[in-house]
Amino acid sequence: MKTALICDTHFGAKNDDQNFANFINEFYEKQFFPYLLENNIKHVIHLGDIMDRRKFVSYLTAKQFRQIFVENLNKFNIKADLIIGNHDTFFKHTNSLNSMRELVGNKFDNIKYHDSVIELNDKIILIPWINDENKDYVFSTLNKTKCKLVFGHFEIQGFGMYKGIINNDGVSSDVFSNFDMVFSGHYHHKSTKGNISYLGAPYEITWSDYDDDRGFHVFDTDTYHLEFIKNKSKLFHKIFYNDSKLSFDKIQDMDFSSLKNKYVKVIVSEKQNPYVFDMFMNKLESFGLADIQVVDDHKHLDIVEEYDIIDESSDTLSIINGYIDNRKELNDVDRIKKIMSNLYRESISE
């Protein structure tokens, strides 16, 4: 049987930003559900972090989650199993109070949430977020189960949280050595090592996701074939500006309509004529972008030490980690990176 796998949907991300909500709505309306219908896929497993904020869900986000996700599952008669992730739980030590218990509950025959371990059948076991309350039971169950396919929301050592950002804390991959295949949500970067696959987020949410493929997967539980369905839309874009190659006529003919409601960084490599630059920016802004950032990449001429140069065109985590890597006086660099990464992730998830 073919099952659609999706995770880290983070409904309500970016503080309920409606431009982002429209972006993800388009993904479900034009890509996700049409693909399921066209390929007669009648089962979805969500591998956690359905909602973005742990402490609350606004009325607006709750409405959009119902309209975009729940009502489409019901309308198309698609069965869904929703695994609870860390962003779905109110407390960090227990899964008992979570967004899906309150928003989905037992209202639907075809939609079930799972805040505790469950064996769906003789092949598949679902594991929610591991915490102080359930960890002993989870590891005991993993040792005893006859299932060979694990779906969960894990923090496993040695996998990329984002592109180029590796997490060295969490559960050892040895815990899962006896299983045929393990699939997880939690890290937004898609990667596979051995029998373990992080499926990645279905769409870009922050600049850390830039230039990193997003989408969902289809898994055949009979053949074990895993297929990646790439998201065709991108939210974050970079434009490299060099006015030595620009003319007024070229600027007038430029079409940035594809960037409407998108987030854009203009990387300035050479700016000789301020008037041409202003004309270019006015042209760009006329297409209704959600946000524009200008990065003057040519201004670091008087800096002596290379490690003092910050690449503002990078995402926040890459800037932080790059700065730490280049500070030769620091000890235990990996531990400092982990602390800073956790602080960053906490700051954008509360």
Last residue of a domain, one of 212, 230, 248: 230
Does 223 share its domain with 256?
Answer: no
Answer yes or no: do 339 and 290 share one domain.
no
Are 324 and 270 in a shared domain? no
- Choice among 102-111, 129-138, 150-159, 321-330 with the minimum mean pLDDT: 321-330
Same domain, 128 and 244: no
Measuring CA to CA, which residue among 268, 199, 266 is closest to residue 236? 266
Helix (H, G, I), strand (E, B) or coil at 96: coil
What are 7's two structure tokens?
A: 């995770």
Residue 17 main-chain phi, psi, to 5 deg: -60, 125
Residues 28, 64: Cα–Cα separation, whole Å? 12
State the pTM of this model.
0.86
Helices assigned H by DSSP within 28-158:
33-38, 59-65, 71-75, 99-103, 135-144
Q: How far apart are CA 56 and CA 171, in angstroms?
A: 28
DSSP one-letter code for 126: E
Residues 192, 193, 197, 201: is their CA dihedral positive or negative? negative
Last residue of a domain, one of 195, 230, 265: 230
Same domain, 247 and 333: no
Distance of alpha carbon 84 from alpha carbon 151, whole angstroms: 11
Pair 226, 239 in one domain: no
Residue 227 has phi, psi (to 5 degrees) of -120, 130
pLDDT at 179: 98
Q: Is the pLDDT of residue 224 over 60?
A: yes
Cβ neighbours of residue 280 under 8 Å, at least 6 residues apart? Answer: 241, 243, 246, 251, 254
Residues 70 and 188 in one domain: yes
CA distance 108 to 146: 29
At residue 78, φ and ψ (nearest 5 deg) are -105, 130
pLDDT digits (tens, 9 = 90+) for 10-69: 999 999 999 999 999 999 999 999 999 999 999 999 999 999 999 999 999 999 999 999
Of the candidates 228, 222, 168, the residue with the CA atom closest to the CA atom of residue 192: 228
Same domain? 9 vs 110: yes
Dig out the tokens for 90 from the structure. 């109110």
So what's the pLDDT on residue 120? 95
Residue 311's domain spans which residues?
307-350
Residues 108 and 186 in one domain: yes
Instruction: Classify burial at 183, counting beta carbons within 10 Å of its beta carbon; exposed 0-12, middle 13-18, buried 19 or more.
Output: buried
- Give the long-range contacts of residues 326-334, CB within 8 A, separation 24 or more: 334/168
**Total number of domains in the chain:** 3
Q: What is the pLDDT of residue 296?
A: 85
Residue ending a domain, among 177, 196, 230, is 230
Strand partners, 44: 4, 80
Dump pLDDT digits (tens) for 168-209.
889 999 999 999 999 999 999 999 999 999 999 999 999 989
CA angle 230, 231, 235 (to 5 degrees): 140
Residues 165 and 63 in one domain: yes
Mean pLDDT of 112-119: 98
Q: In this structure, are residues 87 and 52 in contact, taking their beta carbons and an 8 Å threshold? A: yes
Q: Token pair for residue 335?
A: 């531990």
- Tell me if residue 226 falls in helix, strand or coil: strand
* Domain CATH for 207: 3.60.21.10
Q: Are 261 and 190 found together in one domain?
A: no
Bridge pairing between strands 43-46 and 165-167 = unpaired
Q: Are residues 242 and 317 in the same domain?
A: no
Q: What is the spatial distance between Cα 253 and Cα 347, in angstroms, rounded to a whole number?
A: 42
List C-alpha distances in Å: 318 to 166, 302, 310. 11, 23, 10
